[in-house]
Amino acid sequence: MPRPDTVVILAAGQGTRMKSGAPKVLAPLLGRAMLAWVVDQALALEPKRVLVVVGHGADEVQRAAEGYDSGGRLTFVRQEPQRGTGHALQCCLPALGADPGVVVVLYGDMPLLSRGSLERLVDVHAKTAGGAAMLTATPSDPRGFGRIVRRADDSVERIVEQKDAAPHELSIREVNLGVYAFTGRDLVRHLPHLSNDNAQKEYYLTDVIARLVAEGRRVEALVLEDEHEAIGVNTLVHLAEARAVLQRRVLEEHMLRGVYVEDPATTTIEWGVEIGARTHVQPCTVIRSGVKIGEGCEVGPFAHLRSGTVLADGAAVGNFVETKNSTLGPRAKAKHLAYVGDAELGAKVNIGAGTVFANYDGKAKHKCVVEDGAFVGSGTVLVAPVKVGRGAVTGAGAVVKRGSDIPAGEVWIGVPAKKLDKSGDARNPGR
């Protein structure tokens, strides 16, 4: 399988139609920024280098993108001002050099392209003998994309923008997505000669395709098998469409590994979640990035597992339970109406209904430790930091004060919680 030498990601746009004020490519998408999905696309092609063109919010975008690539394979190019896709590639000329090899162009707002589609694009380019290849689609709604006019031999004759298309050309269903594979020498040769003689006064990469066709180079168009891959995000509506497709992919991956997702339509599992086989995820459950779940666990319904949650094998988190930055040991259970934050629960710990780990004192978070076999009664409030020893018990409605250390096997009840002595009375610890 041929590999590109250079991948360029265009990520300089402002995205005014998103109406967020933030750079469009950093819009949140299933637990990470949209740009992260595109960086993955680029790195999956195993190029020698990746150029990321930044502009609006350049520093913020660059800092974020650097976090998506632990290998330091990204190089950043500034586009100021932003004058179209052709201008973005012109800004890359010093970095590209005279012969950048095969160059693939991607977009920071197209998060759904699959590795297989991009590999086929590069493969098709290799068969053009120095021409170019482009991705196209046949969507039900063209959304103003340029139409592809083909020759008798099926190669691309020209790209007609919707505003310039004749009625018979508007009936063409195949549209240009702007994702290309170029022979780098020809790209570099044509870029300086692009014109901005248009209403927008911008330079367009489609003009490079026109120039290649005019000099007799073959340009091939590869139609995407799944039109969902063609979704480009320009509005929050588009972002929701992209999220739905990515969520389906993530859920399918988990299910194929043996995770029983009972109702995919009501389940959110973000990117980067680890789940072991034989775990049952019940309806209306939300599992955020950074969560690790072992084998044979039970989660939900209506559970919310936030970042830093770790469930050991056989643990259970049930109805209307929220966890954050907490570890539940093997076969530990928090089954009903509880908040477990900044906690370490041992094996076979039981957290009763309505229990709250009060982990925040207004300035800082504090941790609670509940050791193996402990039983935390319904409605208990643990005001962190607290330690509940092995096999210890708290009574229903107990409020365990900050700094308390309940020894192994003891029973504490009341407000504030005190040790229950052999007579059945609550006594102050240590009396």
Q: Which helix (H) or strand (E) holds 341?
A: strand 339-341
Q: Can you read off the two tokens belonging to residue 88?
A: 């973005």
Candidates 171, 174, 215, 223; CA nearest to 193 is 215
8 Å CB contact between 302 and 286: no
CA distance 400 to 415: 8
Round the CA-based radius of gyration of the chain to a whole number and report it: 28
Burial tier of 51 (Cβ tally within 10 Å: 0-12, 13-18, 19+)? buried
CB 245 within 8 Å of CB 228: yes
DSSP H or E stretch at residue 245: helix 236-256
- Whole-angstrom Cα distance, residue 313 to residue 298? 10
> Choosing from 228, 280, 336, 366, which is the catalytic residue?
336
Parallel/antiparallel/unpaired status of strands 399-400 and 280-281: unpaired
Phi and psi at 395, nearest 5°, equal -75, 165
CB within 8 Å of 211: residues ≥ 6 apart: 190, 193
d(CA 365, CA 363): 7
190 included as an active-site residue: no
* 248 beta partners: none
Sequence length of the chain is 431
Helices (H), 284-345: none
In terms of Cα–Cα distance, which of 105, 134, 109 is closest to 120?
Answer: 134
Terminal-to-terminal C-alpha distance of the chain: 77
3-state secondary structure at position 198: coil
Report the number of secondary-structure helices (H) and strands (E) in the chain. Answer: 9, 36
Backbone angles phi, psi at 16, to 5 degrees: -60, -30
Task: Kindly list the catalytic residues.
Answer: 336
